[in-house]
Amino acid sequence: MNWIVTSFIMFCSSIIYYLIFRRATLNKIDYRISNIANFSIPAVLFFIMIIVQRKILFFNPFVMLLLFLNAFFFSYIGSSVSYVAISKAPNAGYSLIIQKSYAVYTSIAAIYLFNSTLTLTKFIAILIVLASTAFISISPDKKTKKRSYLWVILSFVSFFCFGTLRLTNKMFVLAGIPVIVLLFWTQAFVAFFSTIDFLLHKKKLDLKIHRNDISILAALGISVTFFYYFLQISEVTAPNIGYVNILNTASNAVYTILVAWLFKDNLTKEKILAVMTATIGIIILVI
């Protein structure tokens, strides 16, 4: 499939996932429980795909160790630090934009790592989409007495983890590891780490899970499976991995606008203009 088509599926899957995640948040499902669903359900689905397609599951010990370390440091640590950064930031949008701006990092790194192309026009398009997304995603400041800037450092840690994960995953695929096998091990390892985290904090959590919550968690896991798969496929086939990463970032802007519409929030003319600007950037990027 063309990378533009798979990126569009990834884009839509991301929006659906975040809408479901918002529902989980409104239902007060603890993020540690959501994390288990986020990774264990995709792991099971990717394992089924491996069996059906008869792919090799295990590799030599050194490769398995690299997959383990990759999942722990760049996926699990990145996600965990991301939650803390968002919670400590005076405005969640500030932290998210720092974290999601790794498309700039990956697009430049791809030139040296994968001999990818990156024209000045495409790079400017990435910056246009990033700036527009930042404007849309950031809410007006709330007054706060907190002056700690730890959230900035943590946001950049997540930035590095998420960006490096995208690069290392592509390296694994180019080295011959099938996409579904790579995704299975990543999700399986992170599900293991998330389960340990959950068990360590079990006594502090509200473990009341209603029947409706189970369906939400299932939908969460299924939607993120589509997202992970088509994100990885797109990154492998795109002229530059950064193009896919900035489309992933842009999906947050669409999500913000969609939530505002669904929940009858006020959409300013400036934010509508930012959506149009982001759309122009995306069009420049894919043509």
Answer yes or no: is 152 within a domain: no
Spatial neighbors of 201 by CB under 8 A, at least 6 apart, are 32
Predicted confidence at residue 263, as pLDDT, reads 63
Which pLDDT tens digit goes with each residue over 126-167?
Answer: 998 888 877 776 666 555 555 567 888 998 999 999 999 999
Domain count, the chain: 1
Asked whether the beta carbons of 220 and 21 are under 8 A apart, the reply is yes
Check residue 169 and give its pLDDT. Answer: 96
Share of the chain above pLDDT 90, in %: 51
pLDDT of amino acid 205: 63
The pTM score is 0.88
Is residue 146 a part of any domain in this protein? Answer: no
How far apart CA 264 and CA 266 sit, in angstroms, is: 7
Mean pLDDT, rounded, of the chain:
86
- Asked if residue 75 is part of any domain, the answer here is yes
Please give the average per-residue pLDDT across 179-185, as a whole number: 97
**Tens digit of each residue's pLDDT (9 = 90 or more) over 263-277:** 665 667 777 787 778
The answer to whether position 159 is within a domain reads no
Residue closest to 228 by CA, chosen among 30, 31, 25, 44? 44
pLDDT band at residue 91 under the 50/70/90 scheme: low
CA 230: distance to chain centroid? 12
Q: Is residue 27 part of a domain?
A: yes
Residue 151 lies in a domain: no
**Tens-place pLDDT, residues 5-46:** 999 999 999 889 888 887 887 887 777 788 888 999 999 999
Which candidate, 119, 243, 222, places its Cα nearest to that of 170? 243
Instruction: Give the whole-angstrom CA distance, residue 280 versus residue 165.
Output: 28
Q: What is the pLDDT of residue 207?
A: 62
Question: Coil, helix or strand for 206?
Answer: coil
Q: Which domain holds residue 69?
A: 3-139+166-286
pLDDT at 208: 66
- 15-21, Cβ contacts within 8 angstroms, sequence gap of 24 or more: 15/251, 15/254, 15/255, 15/258, 16/223, 17/220, 17/223, 17/224, 17/227, 18/251, 18/252, 18/255, 19/255, 19/258, 19/259, 20/216, 20/219, 20/220, 20/223, 21/220
In a domain, 66, yes or no: yes
Give the pLDDT band of residue 77 (cuts 50, 70, 90).
very high
Q: Is residue 122 part of a domain?
A: yes
Q: Tokens 């007495």 belong to which residue?
A: 145
Q: Which residues of 77-109 are buried (b: 16+ CB within 10 A; e: fewer)?
A: bbbbbbebbbebbbbbbbbbbbbbbbbbbbbbb
Q: Please state the rounded mean pLDDT for residues 175-197.
A: 94
Token pair listed for 21 = 């995640």
